[in-house]
Amino acid sequence: MQTERMADLDARVEELLANESFEDQVVIDEEKLLGEPLAILDESFASIVYVTGLPVTAQAKCDKLCAVALKRIAALMRKPFKPVFYDMPINPESGSSFGYLFIECVDKEEAEELIEAVDGQFMMKDKYPLTASAYSSIEALRNIPDEFDAQAVRDAQEKYHEPIIVDDWLMDDRARSQAALVVGDHLDLQWHDTITGFDTATDMPFNPSTHKLHWTKNGSFLLARTADAKVAELLGGDNNGDLTTLISHPNMAGMMTSNTERYIVTVSTGMPGAEGPLRGPHMAIWDKLNGNKRIKVLPMFDLDTKGKYPSNCPTPLQFSPSDKFIAYGYEQRIQIYSTKDLRKPVRVLQLPGLVDFSWSPADDFLAIFQVEDNNRPAKASIINVPKLCRQLVSRNLYGVKSCAITWHPHGYYFATTTERAVRNGSTTNIDIFRVKNPAVPIETLEYREKKVTGIAFEPRGFRLAISLGEEVEARAAALSGEDNVEQLIQPKAVDIYTLTDIKQGALRREVELAHPAHTLSWSPAGRMLVLQSGPAQESGVNRWVDANNGEVVATREFPYMDTAAWDPTGRAYAVYTSYDRMPDYAGVEMFSHRGQALAADKIKNLVSFMWRPMPESVLTEEDKREINYKEDAKAFERVDTALRLSMDEDEAAKRRLIRLKWTDWQKECHQAVADLAEAWKAAAPVQYARMVHKDDFVEVEMEFARQRSELEDLEKDE
């Protein structure tokens, strides 16, 4: 029976093929026929995720490993997760797994969420780093041709567009620094070199009364906060002076940028008529790489209520150095957000007595300080946020009246400065945490009689400067006629400690200075320390100290100084006075790293002066060790010498030109006197003979001397 049916089917096929109108009657549309199945196939690939990094185990334990892996993935996704299908391939030769897992999700969106949550995380604690990728990427690798196609590469290169370079200013052959000067209604971006001085790079119109400038951390962008509640970009990328609006946030009162310069945070006092957090004081986070899109709004709590954020913090929101995490502190807790997903915090830390927290400048470590609360002592702790907020170290502190926390600029050390109440008064302790040591040992400095007014770590070194003072009584007459007595701390001395004493293995005091310092300012290159004395906004004395030997190499006094700052390289130190502060002293004075005067420019209508920040070096420690500093120093010295000689040659050329003009003018004067004498001789021979005899060319000689004096003054001015 089956044979007869097959024969009938073959006959039917032959009949159809023999029909001449078959092609006209039946038209096969391959695109329509295969398009829908191919689309379904592509969509199914998009929902499959390939996870590698799992431990290799025997086939009998694969089911248990899959269950553990899926449970870990669900925890990382922070929501219930049930895969449509999963498979762990087995090596037929060894009978064990390959170490990867295929997971089919409900749709493409869920697969993307899984990849974002799992990629770069660990299977357990700090073991088995996981990598998650879409299965479609594997298919793309399979479609790579076996033979190299040069024409395809050329076609791709023609379509490629150069990315916007925001750090081209760092490629300056002289490695010069830049500074932004607001002068009147203009913004001048100027190069600065310790040999050649200032040189204008960009000049643009600017209104300082309605715009507030803000450099991003690495100096890639210069932003301006406008009076109409907008954030505009002045410099950065391909923008070179055009005021480009990035963000508009009504009632904006402040702004900040993240460490990688990707995110912008604006603070608003509230938007009337809005709903939710936007109605009251709030902060908004904007993604600069995503079209300046607002990605998160967080409420700001009133400081007069119980729901206040930590009082010692400059802002309740802080970005980690990598910008992977955001710490948001309020009330008695800190919420940790991942910038990959800001919908919900990844961790919520309940911290009774929270008053301050701060990220390490180098690692995603968060330092936290809590004050005493009932029977619980004050506590300083450091947590490792990427590793599930695991606590690295903590220390209980008793009888604490006040506390300040300080990080080393490269995260080597962390210090707490606490004032503790004792029987006879108070004492100040400085606890130093060696964060880079796996055990995180803690060392303590104690000052009983002296007060610590400030501490500062050496940026590129291992020293700690401590400003010390004494309590003095300040009396102020009240309206009632009685005097108000207030205890003030007056700086008296500075101690410098080294943290790398090889012999003793502990802190060692290297330098004791009997000079007051209200502010300690280390050079970014290390070694040189400037002691700024005198209250803020008043004339003060700046002392340059060589920390290697404690020698004060220079002392200078600056009346009406607004502020002073090192350039990012540590080669120059700038002191500026604004026009509003004191019009007669408005300008910028530049000094070398050892306090030698380089230039003093009086700038009328100077409003502000800001160095352009620079990013940290991209070189690793191994790369730095390979640098031959002696040979490079010789090469740089040759370049500097040639530059000085060229400047000397320019100066000599100017002087030769002035001398040549003087000689020509002298010849003209002599010729004029000779012509005048000839005219007098022809007009009045008797009078001429009497003048020559008595050498009586008095008026001519006086005029000659006057013009010579004017020329000499002109030469001095030039």
Least confident of 55-59, 141-145, 557-561: 141-145
Is 363 found in the same domain as 244?
no
- Residue 443, helix vs strand vs coil: strand
Question: Tell me, what's the pLDDT at 369?
Answer: 92
* pLDDT at 412 > cutoff 70: yes
Indicate the burial class of 312 (C-beta count within 10 angstroms; 0-12, 13-18, 19 or more).
middle
Residues 6+ apart with CB under 8 A from 370: 351, 352, 353, 354, 355, 378, 379, 380, 381
pLDDT at 456: 96
Assigned domain for 354 exists: yes
Strand 519-522 to 400-407 pairing = unpaired
The residue from 254, 285, 300 where one domain ends is 300
DSSP code string of 462-486 = SEEEEEEEEEEEEEEE-TTSPEEEE
* Nearest alpha carbon to residue 529 among 456, 620, 603: 456
Residue 313: pLDDT over 70: no
pLDDT at position 127 is: 80
- Tokens for 249? 């946030």
**349 and 287 belong to one structural domain:** no
pLDDT of residue 663: 82
pLDDT at 406 over 90: yes
**What DSSP assignment string belongs to 617-678?**
P---HHHHHT--HHHHHHHHHHHHHHHHHHHHHHHHHHHHHHHHHHHHHHHHHHHHHHHHHH
In the chain the first and final C-alpha atoms are separated, in Å, by 119
- Cβ–Cβ < 8 Å for 135, 80: no
User: From CA 369, how far away is CA 386, in angstroms rounded?
Assistant: 20
In a domain, 410, yes or no: yes
Confidence of residue 476 (pLDDT cuts 50, 70, 90): very low
Cα torsion through 579, 585, 587, 588, rounded to 10:
-130
pLDDT-derived band at 702 (thresholds 50, 70, 90) equals low
Name the more confident of 536 and 80: 80
Cα–Cα separations (whole angstroms), residue 558 to 114, 208, 536, 562: 60, 25, 12, 9
Rounded to the nearest integer, the mean pLDDT of the chain is 80
The answer to whether residues 28 and 52 belong to one domain is no
Hey, CA dihedral for 508, 514, 517, 523, is it positive or negative? negative
Classify residue 275: in a domain, yes or no: yes
In which domain, by residue range, is 258 found?
210-300
Three-state SS string across 506-521, please? CCEEEEEECCCCCEEE
**Dist CA 612 CA 150 (whole Å):** 44
Residue 217 makes CB contacts below 8 A (sequence gap 6+) with 257, 258, 259, 260, 261, 613, 615
Residues 107 and 62 in one domain: yes
Q: Do residue 14 and residue 75 come from a single domain?
A: no
CATH of the domain at 393: 2.130.10.10
Nearest residue to 496 (alpha-carbon basis) of 451, 448, 531 = 531
DSSP 90: B
Number of domains making up the chain: 5
Residue where a domain terminates, one of 300, 331, 353: 300
Residues 97 and 35 both lie in one domain: no
Distances in Å between the alpha carbon of 49 and those of 114, 290, 702?
Answer: 8, 25, 99
* Residue 202 belongs to a domain: no
Helix, strand or coil for residue 73? helix
| pLDDT in the model for residue 241 | 57
Average pLDDT over residues 71-98: 87
| Whether the Cβ atoms of residue 541 and residue 466 lie closer than 8 Å to each other | no
What is the pLDDT at residue 599? 87
Q: Domain ends where: 396, 427, 449?
A: 449
Does the residue 614 lie in any domain?
A: no
Q: Does the residue 176 lie in any domain?
A: no
Which whole number is the average pLDDT over 62-76?
88
- State the average pLDDT over residues 446-453: 88
- Residue 270 located in a structural domain: yes
DSSP E strands in 343-462: the ranges are 347-350, 354-359, 365-370, 378-384, 390-397, 400-407, 413-422, 425-434, 442-447, 451-457
386, 332: one domain: yes
13-22, 90-99, 501-510: least confident range: 13-22
Question: Mind listing the pLDDT tens digit for each residue in 496-530?
Answer: 999 886 455 578 899 999 998 989 999 999 999 99
Q: Say if residues 493 and 513 touch (Cβ distance below 8 Å).
A: yes
CA dihedral sign of residues 169, 173, 174, 175: positive
Tell me, yes or no, whether 255 lies in a domain: yes
> What are φ and ψ of residue 651, in 5° steps?
-65, -40
Judgement on whether residues 106 and 32 belong to the same structural domain of the protein: no
| Whether residue 687 is found in the same domain as residue 706 | yes
What pLDDT does 467 receive?
94
Measure the CA angle with vertex 710, ends 706 and 714; round to 5°: 170
- Return the beta strands (E) in 99-185 as ranges: 100-104, 122-124, 127-129, 131-134, 177-183
Same domain, 335 and 294: no
Q: Are residues 139 and 263 in the same domain?
A: no
- Give the lowest-confidence range in 154-168, 313-327, 601-615: 154-168
Residue 25: in which H helix or E strand, if any?
helix 22-25
Q: Are residues 308 and 412 in the same domain?
A: yes
- Under the banding of pLDDT at 50, 70 and 90, the label for residue 156 is low
CA distance 573 to 319: 29
3-class SS letters over 197-215: EEEEEEEEECCCCCEEEEE
